[in-house]
């Protein structure tokens, strides 16, 4: 009987700094032509296990016991030159932060051409992941997070390897795009014989997609007890008012005529399909789009829409938690140093006071204190997201903008993070704006919201009433 494409036997990986197991006695078998879902709470080791299948372990992780066989090779024992060839021919890996893996100066067609057999294969790969050919001349920075994720998947498809590993492919995607990717992975396995390993927190999608599911780790999170939305009434006076926001890029209108208001103590929702312009709106509000136009008022005072003309104090008052935290967390700095920097900018000179504040910030986002000396690449996607939220809150902002803050989190942690954002907004009088595809979560925690469709404002009102408008976009969202 032939060996299965992937076999993991009694694998234990240990953190060198504390000898605590990252993965403890894990065994699994993946068969050709099947989809296996890897699930578990944020930080349980899903990404570590997936990367271990490529023969890659972080410098802080020690291989204690067990074996990993992929395509008949024991990958943790391969010499560097053999391992490099193995990765090139046997396995394709799409990480959970695809934007950081796409060359920012290359247009999409150049990124895809590197692995394409012919020009027609590029067009087919884009179609398979549900993206239009119009994206080919654009660079990664001009794409939404969901579009970046699908470009990275298209690049993996072009390599035509027998094993495809996809970490969090549904994060940041609207329901229509989620179904497109799920259908594609199913076809790759069942019709083309590819061995597919996929991780995620969307258990409904994963259970419908996968032939097998492997659960890593177990942990308990206490959820809010309330069954009703945290804020059930319309907000009062506005903390932020944006009017007629517009952005043109390379002769193309990306956003036009978008209005938004956000009130202190409340959470405002921004909804829309992948690529609708939600992240662009967040970047304009934060001052990251120098050519944007329109009017923007904070605390009834007009500020420059173009961020380069804002002073440091004004910039600090509007904080963005990005969809891809790796893009803004310095990989050379520890979590403690990352969280200290806002405190230094606020003028907190006492080192002891800053350390105490850092520890309190970690507690606030339910991260363990032993992460304080770790770097971003040593954290899970969910842990990086919470560090990003903690850093933004350390600035004590007037306005907190969160772009898909829960997309890389399991359902329990996502609920906890949304509760944290809502409770912090209410306690500290912050106007919070949350971009998400999770309509149920937004209904629970947001007062009102807007829907953006193809760069234009489609609807505004109480979040429960926005479902009808989302459905009007050809049933592409819900």
- Residue 46 contacts residue 199 (beta carbons within 8 Å): yes
pTM across the whole model: 0.69
Q: Which helix (H) or strand (E) holds 425?
A: helix 411-428
Query: For residue 419, which phi and psi values (nearest 5 degrees)?
Result: -65, -40
Do 71 and 144 lie in one domain? The reply is: yes
Nearest to 75 by CA among 101, 49, 38, 100: 49
Does 225 score more than 50 pLDDT? no
Q: 361-404, pLDDT tens digit by residue? A: 998 888 899 899 999 988 887 788 889 999 999 999 999 999 98
- Residue 258 contacts residue 457 (beta carbons within 8 Å): yes
Does 419 score more than 70 pLDDT? yes
Domain stop point among 161, 180, 215:
215
Domain stop point among 182, 215, 248:
215
Q: Which residues contact 410 (CB under 8 A, 6 or more apart)?
A: 39, 40, 41, 42, 201, 382
The stretch 330-345 carries a mean pLDDT of 93
Does 445 score more than 90 pLDDT? yes
Position with higher pLDDT, 249 vs 217: 249
Do 304 and 401 lie in one domain? The reply is: yes
Does 230 score more than 50 pLDDT? no
Q: How confident is the model at residue 2 (pLDDT cuts 50, 70, 90)?
A: low
Q: What is the pLDDT of residue 249?
A: 87
Do 171 and 259 lie in one domain? The reply is: no
Measure the CA–CA gap between 315 and 330, rounded to whole angstroms: 19
Poorest-pLDDT segment among 3-7, 368-372, 447-451: 3-7
Q: Is the dihedral of CA 410, 184, 324, 97 positive or negative?
A: positive
User: Is 441 contained in some domain?
Assistant: yes
User: Is 380 contained in some domain?
Assistant: no
User: Is 37 contained in some domain?
Assistant: yes
Tokens of 347: 């003028």
User: Is 399 contained in some domain?
Assistant: yes
Percent of the chain with pLDDT over 70: 93
Helix pair 411-428, 381-394: axis angle to 10 deg: 0
Burial of residue 20, with CB atoms counted within 10 A of its CB: 0-12 exposed, 13-18 middle, 19 or more buried: exposed
Do 270 and 127 lie in one domain? The reply is: no
- Exposure string for 450-473, b = 16+ CB within 10 A, e = fewer: bbbbebebbbbebbeebbebbeeb
Measure the CA–CA gap between 164 and 193, rounded to whole angstroms: 11
The stretch 417-436 carries a mean pLDDT of 91
Does 333 score more than 90 pLDDT? yes
Do 199 and 296 lie in one domain? The reply is: no
Q: 281-312, pLDDT tens digit by residue? A: 999 999 999 999 999 999 988 998 987 778 77
Tokens of 26: 């894990």
Nearest to 376 by CA among 397, 393, 390: 390
Tokens of 16: 């060198």
Q: What is the pLDDT of residue 228?
A: 41
- Residue 15 contacts residue 61 (beta carbons within 8 Å): yes
DSSP 429-463: T-EEEEE-S-HHHHHHH-SEEEEEETTEEEEEEEG
Tokens of 14: 């240990």
Does 69 score more than 80 pLDDT? yes
Poorest-pLDDT segment among 227-231, 394-398, 463-467: 227-231
Do 209 and 254 lie in one domain? The reply is: no
User: Is 346 contained in some domain?
Assistant: no
Q: 242-272, pLDDT tens digit by residue? A: 999 999 988 889 999 999 999 999 999 999 9
Overall domain count for the chain: 2
Do 406 and 267 lie in one domain? The reply is: yes
Q: What is the pLDDT of residue 471?
A: 53
- Residue 68 contacts residue 53 (beta carbons within 8 Å): yes
Do 185 and 261 lie in one domain? The reply is: no
Query: For residue 149, which phi and psi values (nearest 5 degrees)?
Result: -60, -40
Nearest to 230 by CA among 365, 423, 449, 464: 423
Q: How confident is the model at residue 18 (pLDDT cuts 50, 70, 90)?
A: low
Poorest-pLDDT segment among 67-71, 123-127, 357-361, 472-476: 472-476
Q: How confident is the model at residue 236 (pLDDT cuts 50, 70, 90)?
A: low
Domain stop point among 215, 231, 265:
215
User: Is 230 contained in some domain?
Assistant: no
Beta bridge partners of 318: 399
Does 328 score more than 90 pLDDT? no
Backbone conformation region of residue 266, classed left if phi is above 0, alpha if psi is from -120 to 50, else beta:
beta
Tokens of 363: 């507690």
Q: How confident is the model at residue 229 (pLDDT cuts 50, 70, 90)?
A: very low
Does 195 score more than 60 pLDDT? yes
Do 304 and 419 lie in one domain? The reply is: yes
The stretch 473-477 carries a mean pLDDT of 37
Does 99 score more than 80 pLDDT? no
Nearest to 339 by CA among 373, 382, 289, 296: 373
Task: Catalogue the E-assigned strands of 322-394.
Answer: none
Q: How confident is the model at residue 477 (pLDDT cuts 50, 70, 90)?
A: very low
Does 178 score more than 80 pLDDT? yes
Mean residue pLDDT across the chain:
86
Do 147 and 89 lie in one domain? The reply is: yes
In order of 343, 369, 395, 419, the CA distances from 358 in angstroms are: 9, 9, 12, 20
Nearest to 265 by CA among 141, 174, 398: 398
Do 200 and 256 lie in one domain? The reply is: no
DSSP 322-341: -SSGGGTS-TTS-HHHHHHH
User: Is 256 contained in some domain?
Assistant: yes
CATH of the domain at 274: 3.40.50.300
Q: How confident is the model at residue 66 (pLDDT cuts 50, 70, 90)?
A: very high
Does 472 score more than 70 pLDDT? no
User: Is 373 contained in some domain?
Assistant: no
Percent of the chain with pLDDT over 90: 54
Do 157 and 299 lie in one domain? The reply is: no
Mapped onto helix, strand or coil, the DSSP state of residue 304 is: coil
Pairing verdict, β 195-199 and 21-30:
unpaired
Q: Which domain holds residue 15?
A: 6-215
């Amino acid at each position: 009987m032939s060996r299965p494409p992937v076999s993991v036997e009694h694998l234990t990986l240990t953190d060198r700094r504390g000898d605590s197991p990252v993965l403890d006695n894990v065994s699994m078998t993946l068969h050709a032509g099947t989809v296996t879902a890897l699930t578990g709470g944020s930080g349980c080791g899903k990404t570590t296990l997936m990367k271990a299948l490529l023969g890659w372990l972080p410098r802080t992780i020690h291989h204690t016991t067990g074996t990993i066989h992929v395509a008949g090779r024991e990958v943790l024992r391969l010499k560097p030159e053999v391992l490099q060839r193995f990765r090139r021919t046997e396995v394709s890996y799409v990480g959970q932060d695809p934007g950081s893996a796409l060359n920012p100066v290359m247009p999409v067609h150049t990124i895809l051409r590197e692995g394409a057999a012919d020009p027609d294969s590029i067009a087919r790969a884009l179609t398979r992941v549900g993206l239009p050919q119009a994206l080919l001349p654009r660079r990664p920075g001009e794409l939404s997070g969901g579009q970046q994720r699908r470009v990275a998947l298209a690049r993996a498809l072009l390599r035509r390897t027998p094993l495809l590993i996809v970490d969090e492919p549904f994060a940041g995607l609207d329901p229509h795009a989620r179904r497109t990717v799920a259908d594609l992975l199913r076809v790759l396995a069942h019709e083309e014989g590819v061995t597919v390993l996929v991780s995620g927190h969307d258990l409904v999608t994963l259970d419908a997609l996968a032939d097998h599911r492997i659960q890593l780790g177990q942990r308990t999170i206490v959820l809010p007890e309330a069954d009703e939305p945290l804020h059930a009434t319309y907000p009062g006076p506005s903390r932020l008012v944006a009017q007629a926001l517009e952005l043109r890029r390379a002769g193309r209108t990306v956003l036009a005529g978008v209005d938004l208001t956000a009130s202190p103590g409340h959470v405002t929702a921004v909804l829309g399909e992948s690529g609708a312009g939600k992240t662009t709106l967040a970047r304009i509000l934060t001052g990251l789009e120098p050519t944007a136009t329109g009017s923007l008022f904070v605390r009834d005072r007009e500020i420059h829409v173009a961020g380069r003309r804002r002073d440091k104090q004004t910039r600090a008052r509007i904080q963005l938690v990005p969809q891809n935290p790796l893009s803004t967390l310095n990989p050379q700095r520890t979590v403690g140093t990352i969280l200290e920097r806002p405190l230094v900018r606020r003028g907190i000179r006492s080192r002891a006071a800053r350390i105490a504040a850092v520890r309190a910030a970690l507690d606030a986002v339910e991260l363990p204190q032993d992460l304080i000396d770790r770097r971003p690449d040593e954290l899970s996607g969910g842990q990086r997201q919470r560090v990003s939220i903690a850093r933004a809150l350390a600035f004590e902002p007037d306005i907190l903008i969160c772009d898909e803050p829960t997309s890389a989190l399991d359902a329990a942690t996502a609920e906890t993070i949304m509760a944290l954002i809502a409770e912090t907004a209410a306690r500290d009088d912050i106007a919070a704006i949350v971009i998400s595809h999770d309509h149920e979560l937004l209904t629970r925690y947001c007062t009102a919201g807007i829907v953006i469709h193809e760069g234009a404002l489609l609807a505004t009102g109480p979040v429960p009433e926005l479902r009808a408008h989302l459905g009007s976009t050809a049933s592409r969202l819900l």
